[in-house]
Chain A
Amino acid sequence: ETGVTQTPRHLVMGMTNKKSLKCEQHLGHNAMYWYKQSAKKPLELMFVYNFKEQTENNSVPSRFSPECPNSSHLFLHLHTLQPEDSALYLCASSPSTADLSQPQHFGDGTRLSIL
């Protein structure tokens, strides 16, 4: 139990589908992050939110749309994805984006497969 819960754990979708990934943290943190981990590649940072405000979009295609309604919840809305988007999507949180002494806490991810 990491305090960061992601649902669903597995998702298979077609390229024309619309789905959403959900992340919830129970740690009282104010910063939340989305990462993508493809096979045999390092984790890639996608989005950063601090106090519900998006502070980073790391050149992510518009078919990925994040939403952060409050500091505890983070969504990633998916639309018309491509096969190369198949990956493990990880959510993380930290007390603040500005405190380097506080590490990020990760969920166990959503394994996404695009048919």
Chain B
Amino acid sequence: LAKTTQPISMDSYEGQEVNITCSHNNIATNDYITWYQQFPSQGPRFIIQGYKTKVKNEVASLFIPADRKSSTLSLPRVSLSDTAVYYCLVGTMNSGGYQKVTFGTGTKLQVIP
């Protein structure tokens, strides 16, 4: 199971672009990289998912280099409401044939006015 490593916390001012990098050196061929956002007392919310290269949606971009051993979540022009914990996960298939994701401790992003 690919283990992920990401910074424990980050601070950013409003309006700045924030990049959170995640390392997953043991990622397997079939694994996908997924990022979630979690506010206090709420469940994680799906942000973006990718397999390789670059993915972009209305809220974020995900950059994945060719070796796929890391990924970077990019949040453009953050606001105070983006203060949350961001989790990088690698979903892999376990021996029982089902998707298993392992949540790490995540990156706590604090947006400062």
Contact = CB atoms under 8 A, between A and B. Distances in A.
B99 A99 contact: yes
Most buried by A among B31, B94, B98, B102: B98
Contact of A42 (B45, B98, B104): B104
Nearest to A102: B99
B49 A103 contact: yes
A91 B42 CA distance: 11
Most buried by A among B44, B51, B97, B99: B99
Contact-size category for B:
20 to 34
Interface residues of A, number: 32
B46 interface: yes
Contacts of A59: none
Interface of B: 30-32, 34, 36, 41-46, 49, 51, 91-94, 96-106
